[in-house]
Amino acid sequence: MESAVGVGMIEGVVGETSRATDHRVASVVALEPVVDASSWIVEFGVGAPLPPSGASIGPERLGGKGAGLVAMARLGVPVPPGFTITTEVGRRMQAAQGDAQRVLPAFEARLAEALRVLETRAGARFGGLDAPLLLAVRSGAQASMPGMMDTVLNLGLNDRTVDALAARHGDARFAYDCYRRLIQTYAPVVLGVPGRVFDQLLDDHKDARGLVRDADLTADDWRLLLPLYQQAVLDHCGQPFPQDPAEQLRAAVAAVFRSWMNPRAVAYRSLHGIPDSWGTAVTVQAMAFGNRGEDSGSGVLFTRDPSTGEPGLCGEFLANAQGEDVVSGIRDPDPLMARRDASGTILPGRSMETHLPAVFAALQAVSARLERAFGDMQDIEFTVESGRLFILQTRAGKRSNAAAVRIVVDLALEGIITRRSAVERVDPQALDELLRPVLAPEVAATAIANGLAASPGAVTGRVVFTGDEAVRLAQTGVPVILCRPETLPDDIRGMQASVGIVTARGGFTSHAATVARGLGRPCVAGARALRIEPEQGRMTVGDITIRSGDLLTIDGGSGAVLLGAAPFLLPPADGAVARLLEWGQEESRRADDQARIRA
- What are the sequence ranges of the domains in the chain? 2-158+242-286, 297-399, 438-566
In 121-176 the beta strands, taken as DSSP E runs, fall at 125-126, 132-133, 135-141, 151-155
Residue 275 has a CB neighbour count (10 Å cut-off) of: 12
pLDDT for the residue 532: 96
Instruction: In whole angstroms, give the CA distance from residue 382 to residue 135.
Output: 16
Task: Give the mean model confidence (pLDDT) for residues 497-511.
Answer: 91
Which stretch of 5-19, 124-138, 217-231, 323-337 has the lowest confidence by average pLDDT? 5-19
Helix axes 245-258, 2-12, angle to 10 degrees: 30
- Name which of 390, 401, 389, 460 is nearest 428 in CA terms: 401
pLDDT for the residue 66: 95
Which CATH architecture group holds 438-566? 3-Layer(bba) Sandwich (3.50)
Percent of the chain with pLDDT over 70: 89
pLDDT for the residue 304: 97
Task: Give the mean model confidence (pLDDT) for residues 196-225.
Answer: 92
Does 55 score more than 70 pLDDT? no
Angle at 135 between CA 131 and CA 247, to 5 degrees: 95
Instruction: In whole angstroms, give the CA distance from residue 248 to residue 191.
Output: 11
> CB of 329 within 8 A of CB of 511?
yes
104 — pLDDT class (breaks 50, 70, 90) = low
Local structure of 51: helix, strand or coil: coil
Render pLDDT for 543-581 as a digit per residue (tens, 0 to 9).
999 999 999 999 998 899 999 999 988 777 678 988 998
Residue 190 has a CB neighbour count (10 Å cut-off) of: 25
Q: Are strands 500-503 and 480-484 parallel, antiparallel or unpaired?
A: parallel
Task: Give the mean model confidence (pLDDT) for residues 61-73.
Answer: 94
12 — pLDDT class (breaks 50, 70, 90) = very low
Render pLDDT for 264-287 as a digit per residue (tens, 0 to 9).
999 899 888 999 999 999 999 999
Tell me the CATH number for domain 297-399. 3.30.470.20
The secondary element (H helix, E strand) that includes residue 232 is: helix 219-237
Torsions phi, psi for 388 (to 5 deg): -110, 130
Instruction: In whole angstroms, give the CA distance from residue 499 to residue 461.
Output: 7
Q: Which residues contact 378 (CB under 8 A, 6 or more apart)?
A: 302, 303, 367, 370, 371, 394, 395, 396, 397
Instruction: In whole angstroms, give the CA distance from residue 242 to residue 40.
Output: 27
Does 82 score more than 80 pLDDT? yes
Which stretch of 38-42, 192-196, 221-225 has the lowest confidence by average pLDDT? 38-42
pLDDT for the residue 102: 55
Instruction: In whole angstroms, give the CA distance from residue 439 to residue 442.
Output: 8
Render pLDDT for 345-383 as a digit per residue (tens, 0 to 9).
888 888 999 999 999 999 999 999 999 999 999 999 999
pLDDT for the residue 100: 45
Render pLDDT for 444-496 as a digit per residue (tens, 0 to 9).
889 999 999 998 889 999 999 999 999 999 999 999 999 999 998 889 999 99
Render pLDDT for 157-209 as a digit per residue (tens, 0 to 9).
999 999 999 999 999 999 999 999 999 999 999 999 999 999 999 999 999 99
C-alpha pair distances (Å), 25 with each of 186, 275, 280: 26, 9, 12
Does 251 score more than 50 pLDDT? yes
pLDDT for the residue 460: 96
Instruction: In whole angstroms, give the CA distance from residue 257 to residue 264.
Output: 14
Burial class of residue 461 in the structure, from the number of CB atoms within 10 Å of its CB (0-12 exposed, 13-18 middle, 19+ buried): buried
Task: Give the mean model confidence (pLDDT) for residues 15-30.
Answer: 37
pLDDT for the residue 15: 38
**Three-state SS annotation for 495-528:** HHHCCEEEECCCCCCCHHHHHHHHHCCCEEECCC
Does 25 score more than 60 pLDDT? no
Give this prediction's pTM.
Answer: 0.79
pLDDT for the residue 111: 83
Return mean pLDDT, the chain.
87
Question: Which CATH fold topology does 2-158+242-286 show?
Answer: Dna Ligase; domain 1 (3.30.1490)
